[in-house]
Chains A and B, each alone.
Chain A
Amino acid sequence: MTSLPAPPEKRLGLVIDLDTCVGCHACAVNCKEWNTGAGASPLSDVDAYGADASGAWLNRIHTFEVTPRDAPAQIVHFPKSCLHCDDAPCVTVCPTGASHKRGEDGIVLVTEDLCIGCGLCAWACPYGAREMDPVENVMKKCTLCVDRIYSDALPEEDRIPACVRTCPSSARHFGDFNDPESNVSRLVAERGGIDLMPEMGTRPVNKYLPPRPKTTERPSSAAARQAEMPKAEGGFLGWLDAALEKLG
């Protein structure tokens, strides 16, 4: 069913901390590695060793340069995968029912056997979260590692998406946004989690934590001068005598 379900009981998703992400691509590659062996078909690559290699990935890391008006330009590494939107336009456009949002936890999935590969869901998604597999010719997307998070075969601590488990700097967090006490809800509340392209009306579940303010200063600022240390009393040698005295 490609109509959207009633508001789900749980709203599972990710919080991505842009203040902590170093842009190492660990999440993207581990995602590729896990999901190429986990879904109904592999995440294929074409011209893999050739002049124009490409493949299906469910998570990609962009790098943006952001230039404030009065401070040096800064770099933000920006991982992007499916945001599992509450109002997922990719779901309602699907003509076959392959693309759906689960009633129980809000995860947006594609049933590969139903997918005709029309690509309309990818057009409907503002975030570029869906990719047509170049060999399998069906739409691939982040499953929030649905085969991990409910897996009895995995130890409890590993029942999280592969990207979250592998992220070296802990820039990715997984949890239930409907639970105000969950780690993700608390992070979003504390750090002012943001929606990507709210104007699209998709109401994404995944939230991004913005970079914290950087230390910047203008050379002449009073704050900078205040931060300076006073010269040691009595000149350096005087200070030394006094300090040694104190050591006894």
Chain B
Amino acid sequence: MHPAVSVIFFTVASGAGFGLIFLLGSGFPVGGGAGRAFFVSLIGGGLAVAGLVSSTFHLGHPERAWRALSQWRSSWLSREGIAAIATLIVFGFYALIWMVTGERSTLLGALSAAGAAVSVFTTSMIYAQLKTVPQWQSRLTPVVYLGFALASGWLIAASFGNSDSSEIWGIMLVVLAWAAKWAWWARAARTRLGDAGSTPETATGLGFIGKVRLLERPHTGENYLTREMVHRIGRKHARILRLVALVLGCLVPVAILTLVGMTGAPAFLNLLAAASMIAGLLAERWLFFSEAEHAVSLYYGHR
């Protein structure tokens, strides 16, 4: 699949944002006064909104984006839009009340947290529902999305919050999220199109004659399908990126958290861990798309 920058940024940023919202709504301790409350809420909401806005860059007609809210009964994309907007509204009230009164409404917090979880889940289901990409069509996909959202949200929260010596939780979240991703990768490696039972032979129905191989594409140049769905990535390239994702997304944050946790260094150092993890997640998400094999590629020479 073509790794579109807008979609990569969207899933990573809104994931982190909703992760943060989830934690705040669940009562993640945040010290300081209204200013801190405003600031941390703004980051959570801002990331989520920035991601959503970014996702509209991917649209051919962003001015019609509001129409996407209509088909919640059947469409995960529609559900995601509704969940995200509803969550942001509820969270907005939550944050407002918090800033103004200093009180954190348990009800609105719980609703925000639940909404954030649902938002991330629906995002993940946009991909996990697609039979055409067997590597995505897995229960692990929502687990990974939720895990990364929570871990990256936690890192941000921990930079602004005043939770003492809670880094162990952060380390656990990061490691668990990557463990899920590791499992996802392992599954993806054995869930290529062919493993899922789709081959040029089934794509053409010609397997009863013999081995099928593309001789000529319909057109000599590229087209929307080849650009969008038949993206190819070199193996070496993929290995390097996976390393980058693991180092920036996992090792560096864990190292920083460990440092902070063991030395009592200032919590805002966790911000570095968050930034590193988000950078790693951008690489991870790039691979999520570019390594994905879409069934259409079977009509374009892929085996």
A and B: direct contact (Cβ < 8 Å)? yes
Residues of A within 8 A of B (CB): 1-4, 18, 28, 52-57, 60-69, 71, 73-76, 78, 80, 89, 91-98, 114-120, 122-128, 131-134, 136-139, 194-201, 208, 210-211
CB atoms of A122 and B74 under 8 A apart: no
What does DSSP make chain A's interface, helix, strand, loop or mixed?
A: loop
| A57, B60: Cα distance in complex, Å | 17
| Cα-based distance from A54 to B203 in the complex (angstroms) | 24
CB–CB B212/A66 < 8 A: yes
Of the residues A57, A66, A114, A194, contact of B64 by C-beta under 8 Å: A114
CB neighbours (8 Å) of B133 from chain A are: 123
Q: Among B200, B215, B223, which residue has its beta carbon within 8 angstroms of that of A75? A: B215
The reply to whether A96 and B60 contact each other, CB–CB distance below 8 Å, is no
Q: List 15 A-B contacts (CB under 8 A).
A: A54-B221, A57-B223, A64-B204, A65-B213, A65-B214, A95-B78, A116-B64, A116-B67, A116-B68, A123-B229, A131-B223, A138-B61, A196-B203, A199-B197, A211-B209
Q: A93-B76, A96-B71 are in contact. List 4 more A-B contacts (CB 8 A).
A: A62-B218, A64-B206, A66-B213, A89-B131
Tell me which residues across on chain B come within 8 A of A96, comparing CB atoms.
64, 67-68, 70-71, 78
Within 8 A of A (CB), among B192-226: 196-198, 200, 202-206, 208-219, 221-225
B58 CB–A CB distance under 8 Å? yes
Q: How large is the interface on B (under 10, 10 to 19, 20 to 34, 35 or more residues)?
A: 35 or more
- The docked-state distance in angstroms from the alpha carbon of A71 to that of B210 is 9
Q: Which residue of B lies closest to A198 (CB)?
A: B202
Question: A194 to B206, alpha carbons, bound, how many Å?
Answer: 9
Question: Does the CB pair A120–B131 fall under 8 Å?
Answer: no
- Interface residue B105 (Cβ < 8 Å from any Cβ of A): no
Q: Do residues A200 and B131 form an inter-chain contact, with CB atoms below 8 A?
A: yes
The closest CB in chain A to the CB of B4 belongs to A119
Contact indicator B296/A127 (Cβ below 8 Å): yes
A27 to chain B, nearest CB (A): 11
**Contact between B60 and A115 (Cβ–Cβ < 8 Å)?**
yes
**Using Cβ atoms and an 8 Å threshold, which residues of chain B touch A128?**
225, 229, 296, 299-300
* Cα separation A28 to B296 with both chains bound (whole Å): 18
Q: Mark B68-103, 1 if CB is under 8 A from A, else 0.
A: 111101111110010000000000000000000000
Residue contact B71 to A97, C-beta cutoff 8 Å = yes
Choose one: A118, A134, A198, A200; the contact of B59 (CB below 8 Å): A118
B264 in the interface (beta carbon within 8 A): no
Known: A95-B77, A95-B78, A197-B203. A123 touches B132 (CB 8 A): yes
In the complex, A33→B78 CA distance in Å?
34
Nearest 4 Cβ contacts at the A-B interface? A117-B60, A137-B60, A60-B218, A68-B210
Specify which of A76, A92, A117, A134 is in contact with B74 (CB 8 Å cutoff). Answer: A92
List of A residues within 8 angstroms of B126 by Cβ: 93, 120
Chain B, residues 221-265, CB within 8 Å of chain A (1/0): the string is 111110011000000000000000000000000000000000000
Given A95-B68, A97-B67, residue A116 in contact with residue B61 (CB < 8 A): yes
Q: Contacts A57-B223, A197-B198 given: A28-B218 contact, CB under 8 Å?
A: yes
